[in-house]
A and B are shown apart, each in its own frame.
Chain A
Amino acid sequence: MTGVRQPVTDIHTDYDIFDPAFVRSPSEAWTEIRESNCPIAKTERWGGSWMPTRYEDVVAIAHEHETFTSRGIIVVPPPPGTTEGPYGGITAPPITSDPPDHHWHRRLILPAFSPQSVAKYEQSTLEFCNSLIDGFFDHGRGDAAGDYAQQIPVRVISTMLGVPLDMAEEFTSWVRGVLEQGLTDPELRVASRMKILQFFIGQLEDRKRNPREHDLMTELINSEVDGKKVDDNYILGVCNLMLVAGIDTTWSAIGSSLWHLAQHPEHRRQLRENPNLWPTAVEELLRVYSPVTMARIVDHDTEFQGCPMKSGDRVLMSFPAANRDPRMFENPDEVILDREHNRHVAFGSGIHRCAGSNLARLELRVALQTWLARIPEFELVDPADVTWAGGQVRGPRRCLVSF
């Protein structure tokens, strides 16, 4: 499937979200599409999709959830072995849910992710970030992506799910198998999905035998909707989502932000001299380096902005492209840490606003603050050596820095 990559002939009709040049630096392509007569590009690659690039269009599609459904949210269609068979009914609610079920699918988990609830992870995240830095501090160099960013969210999500922290490496490889390498490798995608589901099936059985206090899975087992217990597939789907959506998304945001700060001493200085900047700075880094692109499935034939979309077509929700639209953001490609107007949609828009957004921004802030407190000055060892993942989730995967 990976084979020889055919060069992109025309970005408007043949874009390739996995093209290494696009993965490394997508903003030129977004600009070219966005500023053309047809700001919604189309491709037949990877199962075919449409890609809106203007803020207004992306937000409109996100809000028209009856036409643009969430029954498929991965940017490449599912390979055989994921939607049928014994585990075929396990999805990733609420991200894969449409109304009316979407409402309770989301309602049950939102309290665990409110700002008040996620605040309790701040101290342990800070301590963990410090312990990661201890691991490479004396070397005067480290991999800001692999040794740091990548390690943080998996630990937080594992804590939240009450699953063993020493499985971080397995979790990370499973998630990359589903969401990163798996998009261009269907066998890996199926196998990784199976590992995640089998792991959580074991965890669920364990919770049923041994209920725990203050435990999300136990709470979901005990929860009722309209007088009925929720079914196991829902609980397994939520756990699946938390692992898949909660790890390399946030890790990518942390990595991209450190990659940026490594190259911008003036921004490091601003944050040092004015700590009040942190809240807006975090939102600005999320805007410019939005990691996540979701997908929607067209429910019925429709015309959107002149594009004839057919039932079953995929639409890429390019929130990262929307966040660089000059119609919405002044100097959109520039990082302005105290940007006044920032209606960014890094966490999506409408009913599917990222359920974990409060947790993600807490992790991002704590990770960056801890890094800068310990390592106020640092730079890329070699800009050309930085590697990026892209497609559904974009961020650096190796980012060597010296200090």
Chain B
Amino acid sequence: MALLWLPNSDSGAPSAHDYSEVMKVEVDAGSCHGHQMCAIAAPEIFGSDELGNAVVLIIDEIPQHLVAKVRRAEANCPERAVVIKEY
């Protein structure tokens, strides 16, 4: 379970280690045309349905060690169909 960084009067500005990102990811089915570039960038998170369109394999919060891969998947989708939700 990732932790949100909460302002803390003791600690001043947060460093990179002070918080974790809480992220979920979706694919907009209307925009996805099955390029599969999300699954190439992040095979742990994206797969393919019978037609080759993207399916999200992790619908809960993305584990911290996969956050960078989700960003990469988003940055490689030619249809901009990967939607990152941050909390």
> Which A residues have a C-beta under 8 Å from some C-beta of B?
59, 107, 110-111, 113-116, 279-280, 283, 340-345, 347, 349-351, 353, 357-358, 361
Given known A-B contacts A110-B51, A110-B52, A115 and B39 have beta carbons under 8 A apart: yes
Chain A to chain B contacts (Cβ below 8 Å), 10 pairs: A110-B51, A114-B51, A279-B41, A340-B72, A342-B75, A343-B37, A350-B33, A350-B79, A353-B35, A358-B36
A283 to B76, CA, bound (A): 10
Closest 5 CB pairs of A and B: A353-B33, A114-B52, A341-B75, A110-B51, A343-B78
Q: How many residues of B contact A (CB 8 A)?
A: 20
> Which of A115, A280, A340 is within 8 Å of B36, CB to CB?
A115
Starting from the known contacts A59-B78, A114-B48, A351-B33, 18 additional A-B residue pairs (CB-CB under 8 Å) come to: A110-B50, A113-B52, A114-B50, A114-B52, A115-B36, A279-B40, A280-B41, A283-B76, A340-B75, A343-B76, A345-B78, A349-B33, A350-B79, A353-B34, A357-B35, A357-B36, A358-B52, A361-B40
- Residues from chain B with Cβ under 8 Å of A283 in the complex: 37, 40, 76
- B77 adjacent to chain A (CB < 8 Å): yes
A110 to B53, CA, bound (A): 10
Minimum C-beta distance from A368 to chain B (A)? 15
A344 to B33, CA, bound (A): 13
Q: Mark B59-87, 1 if CB is under 8 A from A, else 0.
A: 00000000000001001111110000000
Minimum C-beta distance from B75 to chain A (A)? 4
A279 to B73, CA, bound (A): 12
Given known A-B contacts A341-B75, A342-B75, A111 and B33 have beta carbons under 8 A apart: no
A115 to B48, CA, bound (A): 7
- Residues from chain B with Cβ under 8 Å of A280 in the complex: 40-41
- Residues from chain A with Cβ under 8 Å of B39 in the complex: 115
Minimum C-beta distance from B73 to chain A (A)? 11
Minimum C-beta distance from B45 to chain A (A)? 14
Given known A-B contacts A340-B72, A357-B35, A349 and B52 have beta carbons under 8 A apart: no
- Residues from chain B with Cβ under 8 Å of A114 in the complex: 48-52
- Residues from chain A with Cβ under 8 Å of B51 in the complex: 107, 110-111, 114
A358 to B37, CA, bound (A): 10
Identity of the chain A residue whose Cβ is nearest the Cβ of B80 in the assembled complex:
A343
Minimum C-beta distance from A190 to chain B (A)? 33
Which residues of chain B from 5 to 41 have any CB-CB distance to chain A below 8 Å in the complex? 33-37, 39-41
Q: Are A110 and B34 in contact (CB-based, < 8 A)?
A: yes
A154 to B41, CA, bound (A): 28
Q: Are A343 and B52 in contact (CB-based, < 8 A)?
A: no
A357 to B72, CA, bound (A): 20
- Residues from chain B with Cβ under 8 Å of A115 in the complex: 36, 39, 48, 52
A95 to B50, CA, bound (A): 20
Minimum C-beta distance from A253 to chain B (A)? 15
- Residues from chain A with Cβ under 8 Å of B80 in the complex: 343
- Residues from chain B with Cβ under 8 Å of A341 in the complex: 75-76
A357 to B52, CA, bound (A): 10
Which of A107, A114, A279 has the most C-beta atoms of chain B within 10 angstroms of its own C-beta?
Answer: A114
